[in-house]
Amino acid sequence: MKAAPVDLASGTLTQERFKILTPKPATPDAMAPIVAEFVGHFDWRGPIGVTFPGVVRHGVVHSAANVDKSWLDTDADQLFTDAVGADVHVVNDADAAGLAEVRFGAGRDAKGVVIVLTFGTGIGSGMFVDGVLVPNTELGHLEIDGEDAEDKAAASARDREDLSWKDWAKRVQHYLERVVMLFSPSLIVVGGGASRKADKWVPLLDVGTKIVPAALANEAGIVGAALVGAMDRPPA
């Protein structure tokens, strides 16, 4: 887990990220004090946003594919608000990264449908239409060839199966072909941990749509969380 204050005019971190190891098990009761510790570390008094790897509607968690199942139906907004003593807004992690990339990064000023995909433990997705977020798309869970797409094409699958970049890119290509067929995006932005070595796999992809690496890298989620924290009406 990591946090930092953000300058919302420029989309840059104003202090170095502070990291704390994720507790095991990462239950709501275990995570809430860590968010409070982050706030205390920076002596923060402004808006607060938190990202979560699952569907979040009006602050309530509705899926837990890669996290502890005790999160299901948890009012995460209220959980963290109570822990911190100030209003906290929670958003899907890929949606947050997408918000940052569309506002400040590789998707800035892009028109039409823009899809931001994060390749890490799973595949997160943020979809935008003329800059407006369509929340909680969860495109990593598309069924392809009878399997959850992220089981085959997430960055964790490359590590787990010791795939070469070329072999893994073939899986990503297959996945992206389905995404393009369904949504006809004008731009695809790829982020997550695998984007740090984008030169090894992005040039191998050709789906008839422009594909670019994320510009904000590992800072995208934090910047997006800050944007959501400052919103009067966070994405539902």
Residue 19: phi, psi to the nearest 5? -115, 145
Per CATH, 2-94+219-229 and 109-215 having the same topology is answered yes
Give the pLDDT of residue 95: 97
Encoded tokens for 117: 């995909």
CA distance 176 to 173: 5
What is the third-level CATH fold of 2-94+219-229? Nucleotidyltransferase; domain 5 (3.30.420)
Whether this prediction's pTM lies above 0.75 is answered by: yes
In 3-state terms, what secondary structure has residue 145? coil
Q: Where are the domains of the chain?
A: 2-94+219-229, 109-215
CATH annotation of 109-215: 3.30.420.40
Whole-angstrom distance, CA of residue 70 vs CA of residue 188? 33
- Using left for φ > 0, alpha for ψ between -120 and 50, and beta otherwise, residue 162 falls in left
DSSP 47-109: -EEEEESS-EETTEE---SSS-GGGTT-BHHHHHHHHHTS-EEEEEHHHHHHHHHHHHSTTTT
The pLDDT profile of the chain, 236 residues, written as one tens digit per residue, is 999 999 999 999 999 999 999 999 999 999 999 999 999 999 999 999 999 999 999 999 999 888 899 999 999 999 999 999 999 999 999 999 999 999 999 999 999 999 999 999 999 999 999 999 999 999 999 999 999 999 999 999 999 999 999 999 999 999 999 999 999 999 999 999 899 999 999 999 999 999 999 999 889 999 999 999 999 888 87
